[in-house]
Structure 1
Amino acid sequence: MNNMNQMMKQVKKMQEQMLKAQEELGSKTIEATAGGGVVTVVANGHKKIVSIAIKPEAVDPDDVEMLQDLVLTAVNEALNQVDEMANKDMNKFTGGMKIPGLF
């Protein structure tokens, strides 16, 4: 019975550490660029876009589709990098196990 109590304490401690790590992801940011840096997107670890910067040379009224593609590319790259960062942080606790609902 003592062994079970010890295991439950370890599980609870791991849960607390994982929750703290998830909270900390909100303060971490990832920056991604497209078009050689003319579009920059910053996202936090909770997959929220924090900022989008577009350099004036990226704005061509005759080619709006290009700008849209650049923004889309930078946003998707930022979100992919956030996933990688979150997975890396969570793998510290899960040892690579895939736990449903946990990124």
Structure 2
Amino acid sequence: MKNPFGDMSNILKQAKAMQDQMAKIQEQAATKIATGTAGGGSVTVTANGAMQIMSVVIDPEVGKSGDVEILQDLVLAASNDALRKAKDLMEQDMKALTGGMKMPGLF
């Protein structure tokens, strides 16, 4: 009869290895960059894989119109675009870790 605790030990080792890999991926996330744009490139937002906005660049011509609401909408759209792209980058890395299997709580 096979020892059930031997299997459990192997499962725990695999879980620990996966946890270590996830930590490494999350650590590397800050080095991955995604750029979002809006308004034909008049607003550009850069985010990292840790879902942090790193920079916002606004073409000075956009501000000349004086329409603050349009500028706000462009910044919002570019930010969402950058964060979506950053999330996609992280999902690709996680798929490599999980073999494509969807895991609850991971992106």
Query: Which of 57, 73, 92 is the equivalent residue of 2:77?
Result: 73
Counterpart of 1:91 in structure 2 is 95
CA distance in 2, matches of 1:62, 1:10: 58
State yes or no: 1:63 paired with 2:77.
no
Alignment of 1:1-103 (within 5 A): 1=3, 2-103=6-107
- The TM-score normalised by the length of structure 1 is 0.87
CA distance in 2, matches of 1:74, 1:40: 6
Identical amino acids, percent of aligned pairs:
50
CA distance in 2, matches of 1:53, 1:62: 17
User: Would you say how many aligned residue pairs link Structure 1 and Structure 2?
Assistant: 103
Secondary structure of 1:37's counterpart equals coil
Instruction: Structure 2 unaligned segments of length 5 or more: list them.
Output: none
